[in-house]
Amino acid sequence: VSVLARARTIASGVLDPELPPLTIADLGILREVRETEGGIEVLITPTYSGCPAHAAIMLDLELALAKAGLANVRIRTVLSPAWTTDWIGAAGLAKLKAIGIAPPVAGPRAVACPRCGSPETERLAQFGSTACKALWRCLACREPFDHFKCH
Ligand SMILES: [Zn+2]
């Protein structure tokens, strides 16, 4: 296995600190892992500028790659093009649903309840358990849920 392939596998397995079952690859935060003259370069794009999880992701990446014995790794933040929820892959959307977090929706559409699927929901608070989530409540089953809103 090449160094590049190993670096790719390790980087893809780093979990997002906001949404632990999802990896940064699931969320589309991991843009590219490539070989450069000096070693390996990892490119990541934060879900939104100022996302508090971003520094933690960079540190986790560095630690994971160092632990695997990969030297000369550079982690770079790429801000353009900006991250969009479209970058969340099918695996990421399925994992979000499995943990009861409503996936991000494009535009002003209603957020469907991740438990019963009802579109009758209301936002309770702009911030949920973390800054990247908003707290919503389902009007059908009355359950509160987090909506991943970073986009
Ligand atoms: Zn519901």
Say if residue 37's pLDDT is above 70: yes
pLDDT for residue 147:
86
Q: Give the pTM.
A: 0.77
Say if residue 109's pLDDT is above 70: no
pLDDT digits (tens, 9 = 90+) for 64-84: 999 999 989 999 999 899 888
Output the average pLDDT for the chain.
88
User: Is the pLDDT higher at 13 or at 38?
Assistant: 13
Say if residue 103's pLDDT is above 70: yes
Pairing state between β 73-77 and 40-44: parallel
CA 112 to ligand 1 centroid distance, Å: 8
Across 40-69, average pLDDT: 88
Across 140-144, average pLDDT: 93
**Continuous segment of H or E residues that includes residue 63:** helix 53-67
Across 8-28, average pLDDT: 93
Across 52-71, average pLDDT: 91
Across 13-37, average pLDDT: 92
Rounded CA separation 23/98 (Å): 14
CA 142 to ligand 1 centroid distance, Å: 6
What is the number of other CB atoms lying within 10 angstroms of the CB of residue 3?
16
CA 102 to ligand 1 centroid distance, Å: 11
Provide φ and ψ at 48, rounded to 5°. -155, 155
Rounded CA separation 23/60 (Å): 11
CA 120 to ligand 1 centroid distance, Å: 8
Across 122-150, average pLDDT: 85
List, in sequence order, every residue forming a beta bridge with 134; answer none if it has no partner: 147
Give residues whose Cβ lies within 5 Å of ion ligand 1: 113, 115-116, 118, 138, 140-141
